[in-house]
């Protein structure tokens, strides 16, 4: 069931979304050569505590892993697609990229967002990967409009990524969001005709999150049962925003 939010509920989600944005901006600034992914974890958890928010990810049970997640961030470096775990031994190096994904629950409502940060100078191919992934998200945001269809959003990501020679991860998708971190509908980054194609209506909120590989789309999960990586070792980028459907067009809740 797709839950549509009232204007008052959207305002609460806006507060959650802006807190996530503030956290990610702080972590982006911290993401330099020599920083560890654990440094990012510690800073993010403190910001959540200071704001009186609950982490969305820490304690979230995932049946496929057989356990609850233990961190407030997912920090996925280079060929790691999603769900990389913060580690004091994981030092960011020049030429790396790190995807930072996090969420909070504030006043009963969730916010969820992600970005990918280059560490120092990266290759031209990697710069293009980051740019195309971010562009795909922006183009998709423009299609989150009342009266449209979910496939308008999904197909926009797919078209832009493929036109630029990259590939889309199919195992992991975006989602609805509200009083639950993951709500209906699922939001793939490609048109999946086996799934429903609901009409977009005012009050719906979508977490759209392109995950794009420089090489082939194939993914696998490491022995830690969490970290998803590219099978061919190619770099992967990830950007995410929560977008509300309104009568005035898309409203991105996770940035000013």
Is the residue at 209 inside a domain? yes
Contact between 56 and 105 under an 8 Å Cβ cutoff? The reply is yes
pLDDT digits (tens, 9 = 90+) for 94-133: 999 999 999 999 999 999 999 999 999 999 999 999 999 9
Residue 60 φ/ψ region, left for φ over 0, alpha for ψ in the -120 to 50 degree band, beta for the rest = beta
For residue 234, the model assigns a pLDDT of 98
For residue 155, the model assigns a pLDDT of 98
Domain count, the chain: 1
Taking Cα atoms as reference points, which of 125, 103, 120 lies closest to residue 209? 103
Is the residue at 102 inside a domain? yes
Measured distance CA(172)–CA(160) in Å, rounded: 18
For residue 28, the model assigns a pLDDT of 98
Supply the CATH number for residue 65's domain: 3.90.230.10
For residue 194, the model assigns a pLDDT of 87
Output the pTM of the full model.
0.97
Measured distance CA(208)–CA(239) in Å, rounded: 8
The domain containing residue 69 runs over which residues?
Answer: 7-252
Q: What is the pLDDT along the chain (256 residues), one digit of tens a residue?
A: 999 999 999 999 999 999 999 999 999 999 999 999 999 999 999 999 999 999 999 999 999 999 999 999 999 999 999 999 999 999 999 999 999 999 999 999 999 999 999 999 999 999 999 999 999 999 999 999 999 999 999 999 999 999 999 999 999 999 999 999 999 999 999 998 888 899 999 999 999 999 999 999 999 999 999 999 999 999 999 999 999 999 999 999 999 9
200: Cβ contacts below 8 Å, ≥ 6 apart? 144, 145, 146, 147, 148, 149, 150, 152, 153, 245
Is the residue at 124 inside a domain? yes
Is the residue at 19 inside a domain? yes
Give me the residue label for tokens 């928010």: 53
Is the residue at 36 inside a domain? yes
Is the residue at 1 inside a domain? no
For residue 254, the model assigns a pLDDT of 98
Is the residue at 2 inside a domain? no
């Amino acid at each position: 069931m797709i839950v549509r939010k009232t204007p008052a509920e959207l305002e609460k989600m806006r507060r959650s979304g802006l807190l996530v944005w503030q956290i990610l901006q702080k972590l982006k600034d911290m993401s330099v050569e020599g920083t560890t992914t654990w440094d990012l974890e510690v800073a993010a958890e403190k910001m959540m505590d200071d704001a009186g928010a609950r982490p969305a990810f820490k304690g979230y049970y995932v049946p496929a892993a057989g356990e609850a997640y233990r961190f407030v961030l997912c920090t996925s470096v280079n060929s790691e697609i999603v769900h990389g775990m913060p580690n004091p031994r994981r030092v960011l190096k020049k030429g790396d990229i790190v995807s930072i994904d996090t969420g909070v629950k504030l006043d009963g409502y969730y916010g969820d967002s992600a970005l990918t940060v280059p560490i120092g100078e990266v290759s031209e191919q990697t710069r293009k990967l980051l740019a195309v992934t971010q562009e795909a998200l922006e183009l998709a945001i423009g299609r989150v409009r009342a009266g449209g269809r979910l496939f308008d959003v999904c197909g926009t990501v797919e078209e832009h990524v493929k036109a630029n020679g990259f590939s889309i991860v199919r195992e992991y998708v975006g989602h609805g969001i509200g009083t639950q971190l993951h709500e209906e509908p699922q939001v793939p980054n490609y048109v999946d005709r086996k799934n429903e194609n609901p009409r977009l209506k005012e009050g719906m909120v979508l977490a759209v999150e392109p995950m794009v590989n420089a090489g082939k789309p194939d993914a696998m999960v490491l022995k830690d049962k969490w970290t998803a990586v590219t099978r061919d070792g190619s770099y992967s980028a990830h950007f995410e925003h929560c977008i509300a459907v309104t009568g005035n067009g898309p409203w991105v809740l996770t940035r000013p």
